Structure 1
């Protein structure tokens, strides 16, 4: 646990003064702290930093952007706080939101604090190996059902009518991720990115559904409870969430099954394992669970590949400017071209 001073050169550590400032905000929000906060940086994640906070009795989770190498809208802890607050009584499993601080003078960055949700996180292939086949089958079914449940929430009824524009979602996503590429993309790969981007702009997206889009849905962005029966205890990592076309959310979940995700994450990830259903199998299970009709499926898959390629480029960009901490960031660059090529290939397949 940290709590006294940041090590020299470690921009991820929280200082004693920062933890005390966080504690003041938590107390003002109604949290009863038994003692000074201690923090531990939780491994994993390629965007926001995630810490476990403890006071000797209770635990919470703090999320904040990296201190350097930030790109616009890519580390939005405010979005995460607002959507989990709105979903608290919806039946969709989320961590209880506690504090949102957008005043960067407090610790130098915006941050959000939520209650700690006990359970299992399945991130790596080794984590997945701890689940037998029957448990994994049940977990996968609950994951898909939870996504379908999210897409069934009336975003207006839960107070998210201004959380995002409901129309022209795909077109706005193409514009957004094209803009991100301009900030972080490697010049040598720009012709390939431009090719896929141009094909996407020339595609037709017939949006027939509107709902809450998580934007980053897969097994390692959930907390699981395995006893007495497997269930999703909380969906986490909401910083890419918005209002839009749920089909894109399902497509992104399936795109993450591509082996290049291992390069993006820097390790053998659980979600790329061949023990899990194929992308087609996941899509079929989602529809069977009551999800929306998967209109323009190939176009949305291609958009998902484009998005993940830009995310990989962003990770590489932060790695090159020294804004990342820990191991596993140096392989993201290798994922960019295969993902762009996969997106082009989907759009070139005969109907």
Structure 2
């Protein structure tokens, strides 16, 4: 199963990357980027069937009675129609009544796409759509890094390109706060690179981002590469990166290594048990090869101290984070 479909099925509903055509389609949820991609997919499929597709947009919040029936009525030459209705979360009572009547007997050669941003407004219509088995595209925000990683993998799979696991993580760390930014970053890497996309490619385009820099410091420190960890850290600090996200990245990496250190089982099984994604389990296991139990205890203690220091307890937070990186990097086995 593809990463895109896995992510979608976790959320429920139909796959937003491959929306099945139907007389009525509900696009539901607050993530505008996913909603726009779902609508684009419907448009593309309908235009592939007939380039003369007529597209009409309606606003459910400012709807007046009779509009839907008028727009859906057959045209002179009977061209197929796509009607996109937005702002269902603020729908007028007139729209609710007209929509309830329309979905019971949709017009032929018309596709009605209903966009609802979430919430309970129009519950009567939502329940009626569910009872009729109308395809529902879930548009929920991707909050977990594992979901964003699946999204990135799905974008590359669709483009028939490959990206390695470390590059996926680096890209999510660099631009994962916005799904539209993440999609744009995927498009840029697909367009501007060839072959397998690596973490070096991600670093070239997005290495200046705070999160990506923090994870490069953490990766080097946990691998026992003190010179690289320190030089990367000092460059980050010199360019204005705050010590707090640097310590947070180190702490996250150490926690992941501690979780898998004595664990047994497949990556998929441990991912379920530990609340991590399989690629995070694999990366943590690789890092764990550099560590002993006592060394992990040392790393956890220094990070607890450093976290408090960079958040106000120390006069010199830069010195505190440098000391933590040195202790961690030297505790790890090369």
Fold match (TM-score > 0.5): no
Q: Which has the higher contact order (CA 8 A, sep 6+)?
A: 1
> Which has the greater radius of gyration?
2
- TM-score by length of structure 1 reads 0.30
More helix as a share of residues = 2
- TM-score by length of structure 2 reads 0.31
